[in-house]
Amino acid sequence: MRDDEYILYNTGENSFPGALDRREFLKLMGGGIVILFTVGDSLWLQRRRREYPEDFNAYLRIGEDGRVSCLSGKIEMGQGIHTSLAQMLAEELDVALDAVDMIMGDTAVCVWDAGTFGSRSTKYFGPPLRKAAAEARAILIQLASEHLKTPSGGLGTKNGTVFVKKNPRKSVPYAELTKGKKITRHLEAKPPIKHHSKHTISGKATDRMDARAKVTGEAKFTADIRVPGMLHAKILRPPAHGAKLVDVDTSALEKMSGVQVVQDDGLVAVLHEHPDVAEKALGMIKATFEEPEYQVDNQTIFEHLKASAPEGRIVTEAGNLEEGKGLAAQEFEAEYHNHYVAHAPTETHTALAKIEGQNATVWASTQAPFRAQAEIARVLGFPEENVRIITPFVGCGFGGKNQGYQIVEAARIAQLCGKPVQVAWSRKEEFFYDTFRPAAVIRIHSGLDGSNRIVFWDYHNYFAGSRSSQPFYTIPHHRVLEKGGWYGGGTASAHPFGVGAWRGPGSNTNVFAIESQIDIMAEAAGMDPLAFRIKNLTDERMKRVLNAAAKQFGHSFDKAPSGKGYGVACTDYLGTYLATMAEVSVNRKTGEVRVGRVVCAQDTGEVINPEGVRMQIEGCITMGLGYCFTEEIHFKGGKILDTNFDTYLIPRFSWRPKIETVLVDNPEMPPQGCGEPAITAMGAVVANAVYDATGARLFVLPMTPSRIQSALL
Amino acid sequence: MQRSFSFRLNGKSVELRTSPDRMLLWVLRSDLGQTGTKHSCGEGLCGACTVLVDNEPVLSCQYPVKNADGKEILTIEGLAKNGNLHPLQTSFMTHNALQCGFCTPGMILAAFSLLQNNPHPTEKEIAVALEGNLCRCGSYNRIIAAIQDAARMMKGEDS
């Protein structure tokens, strides 16, 4: 999926009191393909034409002090590109890693970017960054050739200097050549980037460069930004999505000193210099809302989704299903369900907006600063270039911060009250306005021939999204249908609240269903699940990650259920291949599962920071246990019943499994993404391990104790 | 209904006048500009706002400022001494025991408190002590390794 499509589809229509009418709102937030084409000359179409620039100056600046700034429209939310992008730049430019300063997500100075999502930063921003640095280095050599009066061929670069190869003491620092100025010279023929075998910085395990700021409390997140005169806004919220404000009485606030109330077109906000005082004042407002009757809840959602789904779109197909069924000796039909899941970022959505005349500066916890810039420009009626979005460190995103309603709120309220305004959502607001990973249904009908080869595969996907749903097993007759995606689709009321991209969008649900179905067939084939997979694969890369994981796992699989509690799952996430194996034990009385050990072997192409990749795999495995066991949004229509971590349980220390990561060497392949892939196999690998331990097959995520107890009966 | 309060924050005397029932978290962050202490759940369910009051860990989002009157408060900003990082801080860095870093101040202070009471905790003792501190990025294993390593470093300093 291209960036523009990703943005386009990454939408959810939340109830957003009085912000804008639906049409305006959808235009702003990119509400879907219909709106896109009716808007005509919209910002979306302008954005679609945007690409990474050719001019290398857009990516880097060499300061007079010799420090190098790397300018990237990407943002750092924990995934570690603050370090790995610096490694890529330092490698190609030949400067010390600690001479690189990362400047990220600032629309005034950074390279335009669609947003930080989809495990795309290294894969798609990395190559132009490398090219820019390589060209800058070549030009620095040219400049040095004039300076040192030595032909370019006799010059080398190292550690921020150009030196004469025959006389290395004769050298000139980059900073002396550029004197802090932009380099106006460019090369017609762009120099090649280094071969990985020459790397001394890229490809080496490197500690996080943002760690010192983060362990001392110096790292600034959006809520930590202070500007003179700023106020904190707390906003009146409806009890449910779809509820309408009927009456509001703010008279109780009239006598509170320092409290200001802003009302505009359904938006009611309370302002104070301290956020907790504003919150307390908000609680004194009397408001009446009219709530719609609810149609669906988390018990009935799956039937509702099947009934609400649009016509299927073929994602991929081959052969002829009827012919495939004719070849089958055994057929298998199963339906898999996955519930709504919250992003639950540690830092809630936050923004601080400062408006001076026709200029706005907005600090925001966002994964998409340039998108926010366009939105704010429209909301305020300013030219886009008059809006600057600055992205401090972001405390988790996982796709949830592709959406930036809080940014619009802060800007609107700042415009209304004439002072800088911070909006920092409470945890309850975070759960309410989250764009959840959609609940979804997968139906699979598949078959094996007499020699235990998969001969047909009929895949119906309701609302999960198509990513990772394309078969990588060798199946002569297959069809994959997508009926609604993770962005929504179908009838307008399919989802009673916003949905959107959640770390590995689509894939978590697809891999759970696909790899569970594979295990069901393996058992029917009388084979162990690893041998069955290898037998039905011709993709050598996938076999390689499976074998690498098996070697590290060290235990042999038997036909399930073996009682051992071993599970396996593998997948291809946008070009990153991985195989995960897990050991679990199940308490049959309580239905509780303990995941003791997880091994993940991943082939992500050329690796920039092995330590960073391992951290992402470990984080994916740990976070993934949440949607395996507990994470499920409880709701009645548009009313979100989970408001905090007391009912919405996320993984904690006591859950932690032993984790072993294997980086499968594949340096000739360009770097692939690694922020998301390893989370997508977690549902399947744990479900398969639970089956191997108990013989109970779970067709629903999360596998709560009661669902496991029911499956054991 | 405002009252005057005085306490020591990271070794320095602080006096301020405010409403006694306001939570320490907001007084630290908003009134005093000490933003290293984080708000995440606001209901005492995640540990991100952990600070030490008279050496005991408290969830500052649930701790009224009146309870801090006359006491000694330690936040993440006060852990390094004269620019020298505490062993827990260096150990979190060398173990890469953080990703987004938003839970990190609370984690480090909870660990600091644990090591004061139990200088050589086992893996399990660390997990139990920090069970209330949530890390959405999933750095738990690295945090445990970092704390154990810091404990070893601190032992070396003592001897």
**CATH code assigned at A695:** 3.30.365.10
CB contact under 8 A, B136 and A650: yes
Residues sharing a CB contact under 8 Å with residue A198, sequence separation 6 or more, in sequence order: none
- The CA-atom distances, in angstroms, between B57 and each of B9, B63, B97, B136 are 14, 11, 20, 21
In this model, does residue A60 exceed pLDDT 70? yes
Q: Specify if A139 maps to a domain.
A: yes
Mean pLDDT check: name the lowest of A174-178, A259-263, A264-268, A492-496: A492-496
CATH of the domain at B54: 3.10.20.30
B69 and B123: one domain?
Answer: no
| A560, A519 Cβ separation under 8 angstroms | yes
Q: Specify if A207 maps to a domain.
A: yes
A555 and A524: one domain?
Answer: yes
B30 to chain A, any CB pair closer than 8 A? The answer is yes
B37 and B94: one domain?
Answer: no
Which of B78, B110, B132 is a domain's end point? Answer: B78
pLDDT of residue A23: 38
In this prediction, residues B5-34 reach a mean pLDDT of 98
| A683, A571 Cβ separation under 8 angstroms | no
| Chain B, window 54-73: residues with a beta carbon less than 8 angstroms from a chain A beta carbon | none
| A348, B40 Cβ separation under 8 angstroms | yes
pLDDT of residue B131: 98
Domain count, chain B: 2
| A366, A401 Cβ separation under 8 angstroms | yes
Residues sharing a CB contact under 8 Å with residue B27, sequence separation 6 or more, in sequence order: B16, B18, B65
Instruction: Kindly list the residues from chain B whose CB atom is less than 8 angstroms away from the CB atom of residue A277.
Output: 19, 22
Check: pTM over 0.90? Answer yes or no.
yes
Q: How far is CA A644 from the centre of its chain?
A: 22
Integer distance in angstroms from the first to the last C-alpha of chain A?
43
Q: What counts of helices (H) and strands (E) characterise chain B?
A: 5, 5
* 3-class DSSP state of A138: helix
CB contact under 8 A, B89 and A615: no
Backbone phi and psi for residue A549, each to the nearest 5 degrees, phi listed first: -65, -40
A169 and A239: one domain?
Answer: no
Q: How far is CA A454 from the centre of its chain?
A: 33
pLDDT of residue A374: 96
Residues sharing a CB contact under 8 Å with residue A595, sequence separation 6 or more, in sequence order: A582, A583, A584, A625, A628, A655, A657, A686, A689
Predicted confidence band of residue A13 (pLDDT cuts 50, 70, 90): very low
In this model, does residue A7 exceed pLDDT 70? no
Query: pLDDT higher for B24 or A10?
Result: B24
- The CA-atom distances, in angstroms, between A1 and each of A9, A120, A402, A440, B24 are 10, 11, 16, 20, 47
Which of A417, A433, A449 is a domain's end point? Answer: A433
CB contact under 8 A, B139 and A619: yes
Q: What is the pLDDT of residues A405-437, one digit of tens each?
A: 999 999 999 999 999 999 999 999 999 999 999
| A523, A544 Cβ separation under 8 angstroms | no
| Pick from B37, B108, B140: CB nearest A653 | B140
A315 and A450: one domain?
Answer: yes
Residue of B nearest to A212 (CA): B93
Say how far apart CA A649 and CA B134 lie, in whole Å.
10
B150 and B108: one domain?
Answer: yes
B49 and B95: one domain?
Answer: no
CB contact under 8 A, B93 and A212: yes
Q: Specify if A2 maps to a domain.
A: no
A578 and A695: one domain?
Answer: yes
Tokens at A675, concatenated: 């922020």
A129 and A255: one domain?
Answer: no
| Pick from B48, B92, B108: CB nearest A346 | B48
In this prediction, residues A261-288 reach a mean pLDDT of 96
Say how far apart CA A577 and CA B30 lie, in whole Å.
46
CB contact under 8 A, A226 and B75: no
Mean pLDDT check: name the lowest of A35-49, A106-120, A506-520: A35-49
Instruction: Kindly list the residues from chain B whose CB atom is less than 8 angstroms away from the CB atom of residue A655.
Output: 140
Predicted confidence band of residue A487 (pLDDT cuts 50, 70, 90): confident
B95 and B150: one domain?
Answer: yes
* 3-class DSSP state of A406: helix
A411 and A538: one domain?
Answer: no
Residue type, A39: V
Nearest CA to A305 out of A68, A175, A465, A131 is that of: A465
CB contact under 8 A, B131 and A393: no
Instruction: Kindly list the residues from chain A whose CB atom is less than 8 angstroms away from the CB atom of residue B35.
Output: 217, 220, 223-224, 226
Q: Specify if A25 maps to a domain.
A: no
* 3-class DSSP state of A619: helix
Q: Specify if A401 maps to a domain.
A: yes
Could you identify the residue written with the tokens 């499994």? A657
**A346, A595, A629: best to mutate for the B interface, most B CBs within 10 A:** A346
A270 and A322: one domain?
Answer: no
B36 and B71: one domain?
Answer: yes
CATH of the domain at B128: 1.10.150.120
Residue type, A218: E
B131 to chain A, any CB pair closer than 8 A? The answer is yes
Could you identify the residue written with the tokens 């470093």? B153
In this prediction, residues A69-74 reach a mean pLDDT of 96
Mean pLDDT check: name the lowest of A269-278, A298-307, A335-344, A487-496: A487-496
Residue of A nearest to B88 (CA): A215
- What angle do helix axes A610-629 and B140-158 make, rounded to 10 degrees? 120
Q: What is the pLDDT of residues B93-129, one digit of tens each?
A: 999 999 999 999 999 999 999 999 999 999 999 999 9
Residue of A nearest to B103 (CA): A346
| Pick from B26, B88, B104: CB nearest A275 | B26
CB contact under 8 A, B76 and A217: yes
In this model, does residue B86 exceed pLDDT 80? yes
Could you identify the residue written with the tokens 């700034």? A69
pLDDT of residue B56: 97
| B59, B40 Cβ separation under 8 angstroms | no
CB contact under 8 A, A217 and B102: no
Say how far apart CA B141 and CA A656 lie, in whole Å.
7
Say how far apart CA B137 and CA B47 lie, in whole Å.
15
Residues sharing a CB contact under 8 Å with residue A149, sequence separation 6 or more, in sequence order: none
Say how far apart CA A53 and CA A131 lie, in whole Å.
11
Length of chain B: 159
How much is the CA Rg of chain B, to the nearest whole Å?
16
B112 and B56: one domain?
Answer: no
Say how far apart CA A101 and CA A103 lie, in whole Å.
6
Q: Specify if A13 maps to a domain.
A: no
In this model, does residue A16 exceed pLDDT 60? no
Tokens at A598, concatenated: 């997880």
B109 and B152: one domain?
Answer: yes
CB atoms within 10 A of CB A616: 28
A549 and A596: one domain?
Answer: yes
B150 to chain A, any CB pair closer than 8 A? The answer is no
Predicted confidence band of residue B157 (pLDDT cuts 50, 70, 90): low
Q: What is the pLDDT of residues A391-407, one digit of tens each?
A: 999 999 999 999 999 99
- ipTM of the prediction greater than 0.95, yes or no: yes
CB contact under 8 A, A652 and B140: yes
B10 to chain A, any CB pair closer than 8 A? The answer is no
| B53, B109 Cβ separation under 8 angstroms | no
Which of A386, A418, A433 is a domain's end point? Answer: A433
CB contact under 8 A, B96 and A208: yes
User: Residue-wise over A58-84: b if at least 16 C-beta within 10 A, else e?
Assistant: bbbbbeeebbbbbbbbbbbbbbbbbbb
* Full domain range(s) for residue B20: 3-78
Longest dimension (CA), chain A: 84
Which of A433, A452, A475 is a domain's end point? Answer: A433
B100 and B123: one domain?
Answer: yes
B19 and B71: one domain?
Answer: yes
| A535, A435 Cβ separation under 8 angstroms | no
Residue type, A576: T
Say how far apart CA A72 and CA A60 lie, in whole Å.
9
CB contact under 8 A, A620 and B138: yes
User: Among the residues of A49-162, which ranges form H helices?
Assistant: 81-93, 126-148
Residues sharing a CB contact under 8 Å with residue A380, sequence separation 6 or more, in sequence order: A355, A360, A387, A411, A412, A415
B64 and B21: one domain?
Answer: yes
Distance of residue B98 Cα from the nearest chain A Cα, in angstroms: 7
Using left for φ > 0, alpha for ψ between -120 and 50, and beta otherwise, residue A663 falls in beta
User: What is the 8-class DSSP label of residue A124?
Assistant: I
CB contact under 8 A, A274 and B30: yes
CB contact under 8 A, A654 and B102: no
A440 and A428: one domain?
Answer: no
In this model, does residue A36 exceed pLDDT 90? no
Residue type, B103: C
CB contact under 8 A, A615 and B99: yes
Residue of A nearest to B87 (CA): A215
| Pick from B26, B80, B103: CB nearest A216 | B80
Say how far apart CA A78 and CA B98 lie, in whole Å.
8
Nearest CA to A603 out of A655, A550, A706, A677 is that of: A677
Domain count, chain A: 3
Predicted confidence band of residue A24 (pLDDT cuts 50, 70, 90): very low
Which of B30, B51, B78 is a domain's end point? Answer: B78
CB contact under 8 A, B136 and A80: no
pLDDT of residue A317: 98
| A286, A249 Cβ separation under 8 angstroms | yes
Say how far apart CA A511 and CA A685 lie, in whole Å.
9
Q: Specify if A6 maps to a domain.
A: no
In this model, does residue A48 exceed pLDDT 70? no
- The CA-atom distances, in angstroms, between A83 and each of A619, B84, B137 are 17, 23, 17
A408 and A360: one domain?
Answer: yes
| B78, B16 Cβ separation under 8 angstroms | no
| A392, A363 Cβ separation under 8 angstroms | yes
B53 and B105: one domain?
Answer: no
**A98, A214, A232, A427: best to mutate for the B interface, most B CBs within 10 A:** A214
HSE on the CB side for B143, CA within 13 Å? Answer: 36
Residue of B nearest to A676 (CA): B137
| Chain B, window 79-108: residues with a beta carbon less than 8 angstroms from a chain A beta carbon | 79-80, 85, 88-90, 92-94, 96, 98-105, 108
| Percentage above 70 pLDDT, chain A | 93
| Pick from A276, A424, A623: CB nearest B138 | A623
Which of B60, B78, B96 is a domain's end point? Answer: B78
Query: Cis ω on the peptide bond leading into residue B57 (within 30° of 0)?
Result: no
| Pick from A394, A620, A656: CB nearest B140 | A656
Residue of A nearest to B91 (CA): A215
A106 and A228: one domain?
Answer: no
B76 to chain A, any CB pair closer than 8 A? The answer is yes
A276 and A311: one domain?
Answer: no
Say how far apart CA B135 and CA B47 lie, in whole Å.
9
Residues sharing a CB contact under 8 Å with residue A321, sequence separation 6 or more, in sequence order: A456, A458, A477, A478, A479
Distance of residue B11 Cα from the nearest chain A Cα, in angstroms: 16
B11 burial via Cβ count (<10 Å: 0-12, 13-18, 19+):
exposed
Q: What rounded mean pLDDT belongs to chain A? A: 92
Could you identify the residue written with the tokens 């195989």? A579
Q: What is the dihedral of CA B97, B101, B105, B111, to 10 degrees?
A: -20
* Full domain range(s) for residue A141: 56-215
Instruction: Kindly list the residues from chain B whose CB atom is less than 8 angstroms away from the CB atom of residue A613.
Output: none
Q: Specify if A10 maps to a domain.
A: no
Distance of residue A628 Cα from the nearest chain B Cα, in angstroms: 14
| Pick from A394, A652, A655: CB nearest B100 | A394
